[in-house]
Amino acid sequence: MTIENISVNKSFGGWQKQYSHQSKTLNCAMRFAIYLPPQISNGEKVPVLYWLSGLTCTDENFMQKAGAQRIAAELGIAIVAPDTSPRGEGVANDEGYDLGMGAGFYVNATQAPWNRHYQMYDYVVNELPAIIEASFPVSNERAISGHSMGGHGALTIAMLNPERYSSMSAFSPICNPVKAPWGKKAFTAYLGKDKATWRNHDASELMRKASQFIPAKVDQGGADDFLAEQLKPEALEAAAKVNGYPLELAIHDGYDHSYYFISSFIEEHLRFHAQHLNK
């Protein structure tokens, strides 16, 4: 697999880099960003936190706005942020911001025209980690986190692959997409009308029936405009209680859906993941 370096910036003794590559899974060119902490200069292989961003975002939003590099450098954790969807000429798209480019929802589309390119689940679970572990001084220890649509992706991907991730976390995730307008629109387009298929990508449904538990941390802003209609953290909390799932869920008064919220609590999430990666 050939990857092409686009940019390099030194940050807190480590390196912030951006790459492009031709994805076999998505049938298009893709970008990802990676932060490599200073520990790699000592020959260490470091664990990786995969970050999945939300609607309309790219690989750049988290890296530029969250302020995660300082703590990642201290803890010796690499961070990888893929783009949120396939892009480019010939890739199916929609006029709405919540479907198509920038809105891959981290599922494998089964419906035309989306199924030609929109295989984000396989990309995040298989192709991207294989590239990262072959190209950089990282171990096969992985954690996963994300925001909004990416929070949905992080929770569902981790619960569907509990052997691959030591911990999972999310900011403002779409917790019950089968009952949220964003989820209904995306799942109908990508997966078709069979709602049983939808439930395989719903964090609340998966948490309720999980038999293998992964430590989970979720933070939600209490002043988030999308809280009641789209995000539904109460459904995730109820599912965890039914199943005894190890979920830490906190609602923070006054905080909204923005990166001001994420940057306020990202240190707690990185330390949470470091605790479990170190086990």
User: Collapsing DSSP states into helix, strand and coil, what is residue 131?
Assistant: helix
Total domains in the chain come to 1
| pLDDT given at position 219 | 98
Residue 150, domain CATH = 3.40.50.1820
Residues catalogued as catalytic: 148, 224, 257
Output the pLDDT for position 235.
Answer: 98
Contact residues for 188 (Cβ-Cβ < 8 A; gap 6+)? none
Helix (H, G, I), strand (E, B) or coil at 110: coil
- pTM assigned to the model: 0.97
Q: What is the pLDDT along the chain (279 residues), one digit of tens a residue?
A: 799 999 999 999 999 999 999 999 999 999 999 999 999 998 889 999 999 999 999 999 999 999 999 999 999 999 999 999 999 999 999 999 999 999 999 999 999 999 999 999 999 999 999 999 999 999 999 999 999 999 999 999 999 999 999 999 999 999 999 999 999 999 999 999 999 999 999 999 999 999 999 999 999 999 999 999 999 999 999 999 999 999 999 999 999 999 999 999 999 999 999 999 977
At 145 the pLDDT is 99
User: Which tokens go with 118?
Assistant: 């929109």
Domain of residue 177: give its range. Answer: 3-278
Question: Strand 168-171's sheet: what is its strand order?
Answer: 3-11, 14-23, 28-36, 78-82, 46-52, 138-147, 168-171, 216-221, 247-252
pLDDT computed for residue 1 by the predictor: 72
